[in-house]
């Protein structure tokens, strides 16, 4: 026997090989609760002799007399009463644990850890999360925002389970599922010298101050690649992760920018910003749902993934000009 001391009170713990057998303790608990080996056997779906054998083994292990008999009736000894009070707490906790596990299985309780780019978090995720919340109102949702690259790292660091991002780099540990194509458009302030043109070439933007999304974002990567394909280095006046600030700076005339079309529809409709098509055709940003390949998703994450795939655009592989994600959300869920 090995003694372990906590504070000034010694407590004696047996090593694992000599621990109380839970089957024996369970047989004791139900026998004591019902004061009947027969009823305990019915509760445990075993035979009465099996219950009797478990009780005998427990008494031998404890080297204590736990029951006494009077005729056909059995009663607890004082030692048995003391043990029963502790056993009762154990099996009450067991029932609570089983209920908790069942609630988590049925998504009556749980946490969903999501990540999305700031643009999606503001303009798309409220509708998606709202729909999920309607189906699973007891699930707590934690939404993380950041660049696409930061959110890939959040998966690897186990801070998020599912993220909706642009695919900015491959990672063998991350599963990317195509979700949508969002069009990037050039936005300018009203009255800009390029605003009157029918089309704008990337070469027309040589030297023009650009308000750019932050490094690590899918938009920044795509715009950099676009300029590089023309042999031009973008004139970056400022970079920011804040789409609202970016739009305000463009509307003030500080520069031009590339943004997801859905993020500026209100400003384009009101005339606060204008856009001109590019002569190279639409620029499409691939958006993916990402999660770790080898990590089993929680029940909440599995349910979210199943729900969100209902609105995944089946044409993203072909990069056809599609409805915006928000349009699809409204069409499917209204």
CATH number of the domain where residue 238 is located: 3.40.190.290
Residue 300 confidence (pLDDT) above 80: yes
pLDDT confidence tier of residue 71, bands split at 50, 70 and 90: confident
27, pLDDT greater than 90: yes
279 shares its domain with 203: yes
Range of the domain at 305: 110-180+286-333
Are residues 188 and 208 located together in one domain of the fold? yes
Check whether 5 has a pLDDT greater than 80. Answer: no
Same domain, 231 and 311: no
Output the pLDDT for position 6. 39
Which residues contact residue 195 at a Cβ distance below 8 angstroms, ignoring those fewer than 6 apart?
188, 189, 274, 276
Q: Is there a single domain that holds both residue 72 and residue 126? A: no
The predicted structure's pLDDT at residue 310: 82
Shared-domain flag, residues 139 and 174: yes
Q: 320-330: per-residue pLDDT in tens?
A: 433 455 455 54
Look at residue 98 and tell me if it is in a domain: no
Q: Do 38 and 158 sit in the same domain of this protein? A: no
> Is the pLDDT at 166 greater than 60, yes or no?
yes
- Give yes or no for residue 286 having a pLDDT over 70: yes
Task: Give the mean pLDDT of the chain.
Answer: 87
Q: Is residue 167 part of a domain?
A: yes
Domain count, the chain: 3
Predicted confidence at residue 8, as pLDDT, reads: 45
Looking at the structure, do residues 212 and 187 belong to the same domain, yes or no?
A: yes
pLDDT band at 244 (very low <50, low <70, confident <90, very high): very high
Residue 333 reports pLDDT greater than 80:
no
Q: Is the residue at 152 inside a domain? A: yes
Is 118 in the same domain as 145? yes
Residue 251 lies in a domain: yes
- In a domain, residue 277? The reply is yes
Q: For residues 141 and 176, state if they share a domain.
A: yes
Give the model's confidence band at 318: pLDDT under 50 very low, under 70 low, under 90 confident, else very high.
very low
Output the domain CATH number for residue 321.
Answer: 3.40.190.10
Residues 231, 272, single domain; the answer is yes
CATH code for position 62: 1.10.10.10
Domain match, 278 and 147 both: no
Same domain for 137 and 253, yes or no, is no
37-51, 222-236, 304-318: which has the minimum mean pLDDT? 304-318
pLDDT at 327: 54
User: pLDDT for 81-121, tens place per residue?
Assistant: 999 999 999 999 999 999 999 999 999 999 999 999 988 88
Of 145-154, 185-194, 258-267, 305-314, minimum mean pLDDT range? 305-314
Q: Please check whether residue 104 lies inside any domain of the structure.
A: no
Q: Is the pLDDT of residue 16 over 90?
A: no
Condensed to tens digits (0 to 9), the pLDDT of residues 131-148 reads 999 999 999 999 999 999
Residue 35 lies in a domain: yes
Residue 188 domain-assigned?
yes
């Amino acid at each position: 026997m090995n003694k372990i001391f906590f504070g000034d009170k010694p407590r004696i713990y047996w090593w694992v090989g000599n621990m109380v057998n839970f089957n024996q303790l369970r047989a004791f608990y139900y026998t004591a609760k019902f004061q009947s080996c027969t009823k305990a056997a019915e509760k445990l779906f075993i035979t009465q002799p099996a219950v009797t054998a478990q009780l005998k083994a427990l008494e031998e292990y404890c080297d204590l007399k736990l029951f006494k008999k009077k005729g056909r009736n059995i009663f607890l000894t004082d030692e048995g009463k003391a043990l029963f009070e502790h056993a009762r707490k154990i099996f009450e906790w067991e029932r609570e644990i089983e209920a908790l596990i069942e609630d988590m299985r049925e998504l009556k309780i749980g946490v969903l850890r999501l990540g999305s780019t700031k643009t999606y978090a503001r303009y798309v995720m409220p509708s998606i999360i709202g729909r999920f919340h309607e189906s699973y109102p007891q699930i707590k949702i934690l939404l993380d925002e950041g660049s696409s690259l930061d959110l890939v790292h959040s998966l690897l660091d186990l801070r998020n389970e599912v993220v909706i991002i642009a695919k900015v780099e491959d990672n063998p540990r991350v599963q990317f599922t195509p979700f949508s194509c969002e069009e990037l458009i050039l936005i300018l302030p009203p009255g800009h010298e390029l605003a009157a043109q029918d089309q704008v070439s990337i070469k027309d933007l040589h030297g023009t101050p650009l308000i750019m999304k932050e490094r690590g974002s899918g938009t920044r990567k795509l715009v950099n690649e676009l300029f590089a394909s023309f042999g031009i280095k973008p004139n970056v006046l400022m970079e920011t992760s804040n789409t609202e600030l970016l739009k305000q700076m463009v509307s003030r005339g500080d520069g031009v920018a590339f943004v997801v079309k859905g993020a500026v529809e209100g400003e384009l409709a009101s005339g606060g910003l204008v856009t001109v098509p590019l002569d190279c055709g639409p620029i499409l940003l691939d958006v993916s749902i990402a999660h770790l390949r080898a990590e089993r998703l929680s029940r909440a994450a599995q349910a979210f993934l199943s729900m969100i795939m209902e609105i995944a655009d089946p044409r993203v592989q072909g990069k056809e000009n599609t409805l915006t994600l928000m349009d699809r959300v409204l069409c499917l869920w209204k």
